[in-house]
Amino acid sequence: MLAAERRDLLLARLRADGKLVAKDLAAELGLSEDSIRRDLRELAAAGLCQKVYGGAVPVSPALGDYGARRSIEPDSKRAVAACAATLIQPGSAAILDGGTTTLAVTRALPASLECTVITHSPTIASALLDHPGVEIILIGGRVFRHSAVTCGAAAAEAAAAYSADVFLLGVTGVHPVHGLTTGDADEAAMKRALARRAAETYVLASTEKLGTASRYQVLPLGDVAGVVTDGRDHEVAGQLREHGVTVLSPARHQGS
């Protein structure tokens, strides 16, 4: 089999199965595991998959630039946001991550809500200006353009001064095996720092993030209170539940 044919086969299998296991593919194709791993490295370098231990999983489309991500699954993000907004109670303190799904959360908040929002996103802070009852605390630091957030040592140190009831966490990948991931090491560290400042952390998981992974782990699934989805019948949501993860969605949350 030619290298190009193997590449097409691997991509087709990845789309069908949601994962590639190097050992199994090597046995099936009569090739060495080193050959399969080389193919996977080349696919990962081209941005077509995310290498993980033992194989590969789909790469997250949420790794694109901020402007491009606004047009990805907008209906899913609005549904996630509607559910997540109910987690911010009147009189509470909430930490909001950056990103396009969190921006949708600000639009879903009641105009009359009175609470405190702590964020490291200038975009999120600006979006909350039309909520007169929301006290806004903006954490400064180096701006990471992908998600329009501050991160780095100064931002992490500033975050340590605050405590909150809930943290709404944005990631680029939500995978039942590989956990919660994002594409930048400093941003992952900042997300962990913010999670440590909240009593509960909920993950904003619009549909394009489910079943995908990025390079840097943010948190294992066991460290969060739940994952908020859009309520669609997604295979990964069922797998998360099988792993003991609380999965919230508009219909389920309203009924709980």
Reported as a single tens digit per residue, the pLDDT across 24-47 is: 888 888 888 888 888 888 888 888
Class at the top of the CATH hierarchy for domain 3-59? mainly alpha
In whole angstroms, what is the distance from residue 71 CA to residue 210 CA?
A: 17
Average pLDDT, the chain: 89
**Nearest Cα residue to 177 out of 25, 18, 34, 40:** 18
pLDDT digits (tens, 9 = 90+) for 89-131: 999 999 999 999 999 999 999 999 999 999 999 999 999 999 9
Ranges of each domain in the chain? 3-59, 66-255
Is the backbone of residue 99 left (phi > 0), alpha (psi -120 to 50) or beta? left
What is the pLDDT averaged over residues 78-91?
Answer: 97
Give the CATH number of domain 66-255; options: 3.20.20.10, 3.40.605.10, 3.40.50.1360, 3.40.50.720: 3.40.50.1360
